[in-house]
């Protein structure tokens, strides 16, 4: 078995954690009898923007070709390129062009990792956040009128299509159905956002009819964030619109100790294009260049990528190796009150793989 992977490290700590992700991928490939052909790309980062005045070449799709998956680091360097330009010029292009309509993000408290939440031990946080990834609040519908004057008005519309909402809900219900807890929570705000969110609620109720074994509930986003902190053990699969899912999927992993361990899959479940796997975190300018970033988010993303490609055993083996390393303060990074630097931690995961 051979897989072609586009490798795009991006900016800041993306360039530091990517080699550790690759290290573990290569080790997994050698142990589990498959090969990974890597195609590295130097675009989708702010250095490329500095040289070319845009984040990606016009023919980026042709250059990427048709890999089996894209392995991505992080993009953004706010000192040189405004974040909305770096993000819309790279990652959001991939998500939309390849129709990666599910953003799948686990939050799991690992054995040995101190939770910032009092009294929480391993197993008490174990959830999947399913974020809608191609529409919703992140739309380009809107405008800016009378700029720079006292009459200035800005408008940005939320776009929800029945097709777009239903397909992400179906994915989330399928996932809930496959889990022991069979519990799905929907994030809403239909009391305040009185047009799009009641529509979202209606589609959840409709979809729930097809999954009688899945227990379904909903919370408004404001109290849901509080419940994530107070009672994270209540949640199993949480489905949310683009913006709400973005917020919840930073908060969920933060409740497990650090966002530095959190992975994500930008998934095209219909496989009409490649899916993209990346850590949840960004380029972390405050720690970039110091070699101290936590590489686990990148490595866990590699595990998700392998499972997506059908290398389920190798993906699970990476998870066991991650658990072994996280339990040891000498091998984990400073964000988890550990002593290791990025490379030490990455090597430890590769060594723990079997
Ligand atoms: P960030 O995730 O880069 O950093 C937030 C905080 O978490 C910082 O204090 C950072 O040091 C810490 N942190 C993040 N990852 C870590 C890791 N692996 N190990 C240890 N500590 C870690 O978010 P921020 O600061 O809001 O954004 C910085 C840049 O990254 C911006 O340009 C932003 O647009 C971009 N960004 C890109 C994302 C992506 O590529 N998917 C996602 C989020 C932000
Ligand atoms: Mg985010």
Which ligand lies nearest the alpha carbon of 262? 1
**DSSP state letters, 289-351:** TTT----HHHHHHHHHHHHHHT-HHHHHHHHHHHHHHHT-TTTSBGGGT--B-HHHHHHHHHH
Report the alpha-carbon distance of residue 24 to residue 86 in Å, rounded. Answer: 28
Asked casually if ipTM beats, i.e. exceeds, 0.90, the reply is yes
Altogether, the residues listed in the chain come to a count of: 354
Any domain includes 91: yes
* Same-domain pairing of 235 and 137: yes
Write out pLDDT tens, residues 115-151: 888 778 777 899 999 999 999 999 989 999 999 999 9
| Domain count of the fold of the chain | 2
Ligand 1 centroid to Cα of residue 284, in Å, is 4
* Same-domain pairing of 136 and 102: no
Sheet with 183-188, side-by-side order of all strands: 35-40, 2-10, 69-74, 275-279, 263-267, 102-108, 126-132, 237-240, 183-188, 215-220
Pocket of ligand 1 (CB under 6 A): 13, 74-76, 78, 83, 87, 91, 259-260, 278, 281-287, 293-294, 297, 335
pLDDT above 70 covers what percent of the chain?
Answer: 100
Kindly report the number of other CB atoms within 10 A of residue 341's CB atom: 16
Write out pLDDT tens, residues 54-97: 999 999 999 999 999 999 999 999 999 999 999 999 999 999 99
Mutate to test the pocket of ligand 1, among 78, 83, 281 (most ligand atoms within 8 A of CB): 281
pLDDT at 248 (0 to 100): 96
Q: Which domain holds residue 175?
A: 126-254
* Same-domain pairing of 225 and 177: yes
Ligand 1 centroid to Cα of residue 146, in Å, is 34
Write out pLDDT tens, residues 184-238: 999 999 999 999 999 999 999 999 999 999 999 999 999 999 999 999 999 999 9
Phi and psi angles of residue 224, each rounded to the nearest 5 degrees, phi first: -65, -40
Does the pLDDT value for residue 111 go beyond 90?
A: no
* Same-domain pairing of 135 and 223: yes
Does the pLDDT value for residue 162 go beyond 80?
A: yes
pLDDT at 118 (0 to 100): 72
Ligand 1 centroid to Cα of residue 265, in Å, is 17
In order of 85, 143, 203, 254, 313, the CA distances from 263 in angstroms are: 23, 34, 28, 12, 18
């Amino acid at each position: 078995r051979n897989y072609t992977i586009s490798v795009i490290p991006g900016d800041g700590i993306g360039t530091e954690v990517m080699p550790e992700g690759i290290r573990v991928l290569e080790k997994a490939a050698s142990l589990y009898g498959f090969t990974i052909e890597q195609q590295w790309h130097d675009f989708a980062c702010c250095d490329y923007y500095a040289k070319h005045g845009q984040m990606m070449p016009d023919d980026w799709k042709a250059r990427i070709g048709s890999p089996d998956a894209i392995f991505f680091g992080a993009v953004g360097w706010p000192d040189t390129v405004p974040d909305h330009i770096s993000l819309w010029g790279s990652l959001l292009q991939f998500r939309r062009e390849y129709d990666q309509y599910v953003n799948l993000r686990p939050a799991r408290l690992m054995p040995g990792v101190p939770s910032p939440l009092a009294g929480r031990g391993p197993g008490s946080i174990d959830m999947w956040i399913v974020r809608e990834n191609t529409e919703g609040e992140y739309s380009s519908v809107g405008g800016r009128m009378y700029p720079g004057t006292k009459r200035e008005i800005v408008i940005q519309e939320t776009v929800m299509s029945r097709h777009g909402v239903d397909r992400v809900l179906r994915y989330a219900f399928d996932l809930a159905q496959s889990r022991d807890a069979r519990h799905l929570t929907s994030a809403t705000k239909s009391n305040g956002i009185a047009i799009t969110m009641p529509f979202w609620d209606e589609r959840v109720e409709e979809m729930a009819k097809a999954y009688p074994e899945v227990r379904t509930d909903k919370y408004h986003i404001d109290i849901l964030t509080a419940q994530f902190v107070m009672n994270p053990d209540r949640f199993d699969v949480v489905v949310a619109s683009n913006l709400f899912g973005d917020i919840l999927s930073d908060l969920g992993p933060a409740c497990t100790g650090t966002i530095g361990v959190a992975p994500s899959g930008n998934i095209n479940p219909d496989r009409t294009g490649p899916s993209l796997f990346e850590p949840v975190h960004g380029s972390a300018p405050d720690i970039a260049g110091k070699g101290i970033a936590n590489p686990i988010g990148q490595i866990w993303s590699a595990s998700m990528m392998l499972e997506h490609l059908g290398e389920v055993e190798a993906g699970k083996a990476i998870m066991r190796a991650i658990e072994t390393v996280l339990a040891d303060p000498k091998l984990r990074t400073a964000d988890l009150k550990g002593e290791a630097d990025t490379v030490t931690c990455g090597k430890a995961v590769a060594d723990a793989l079997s």
